[in-house]
Structure 1
């Protein structure tokens, strides 16, 4: 039995598949009620009401590893690079503020602001 060469590529293509983006996941809330939004995302950190619209803000924080330049690369002396000494790991907190605009208790739109929104 011969397997078509294209079928052999399917596992490789599946490994490259990426899930939906944050914007795509949040777009599913448009048109839904405020109760659904709070049930899925939790209690908002801030809310504001004006001109018949209600704004709910949610925060998303995560820790990411950041690369640092090797401090020993420019070491003065005969050995300029010391591969056996690794720089310590560094981490940073990044945040994404997600604000939903609601009219008549239904999600109308949303905005994203921050480094962790991608």
Structure 2
């Protein structure tokens, strides 16, 4: 049981820095063509096209970890905003965004 507590604390501690690194990685996509994003990330899990032509491409990831019989789940949902064929922004949420 003590080992599980150590693992959970380590995961939470590592997660403190991870979102910033993930944000920096996503920022490199801003200004790049949508086609390049899809070539690298694959087809999005969901997409939405607004009336003004703006597209939202969403990628979801779920990972499960087994820590001495306890199943831990990590999730990350990343959405890219695409306007006129170029990535113009992004957002993300979840404990597995790194």
Q: Is it true that 1:54 corresponds to 2:34 in the alignment?
A: no
Which structure shows the bigger proportion of residues in strand conformation?
2
CA distance, structure 2, for counterparts of residue 109 and residue 64 of structure 1? 31
Please report the RMSD computed on the Cα atoms of aligned residues, expressed in angstroms. Answer: 2.2
From the CA coordinates, give the structure whose radius of gyration is larger.
1
Per the alignment, residue 85 of structure 2 pairs with 105
Which structure shows the bigger proportion of residues in helix conformation?
2
Structure 1 length normalisation: TM-score? Answer: 0.59
Structure 2 length normalisation: TM-score? Answer: 0.70
What is the number of residues matched between the two proteins?
A: 80
Structure 2 unaligned blocks of 5 or more: 1-16
CA distance, structure 1, for counterparts of residue 53 and residue 44 of structure 2? 19
Structural mapping, 1:1-118, within 5 Å: 21-50=21-50, 51-65=52-66, 88-118=68-98
* Offset at residue 64 of structure 1 (A): 3.4
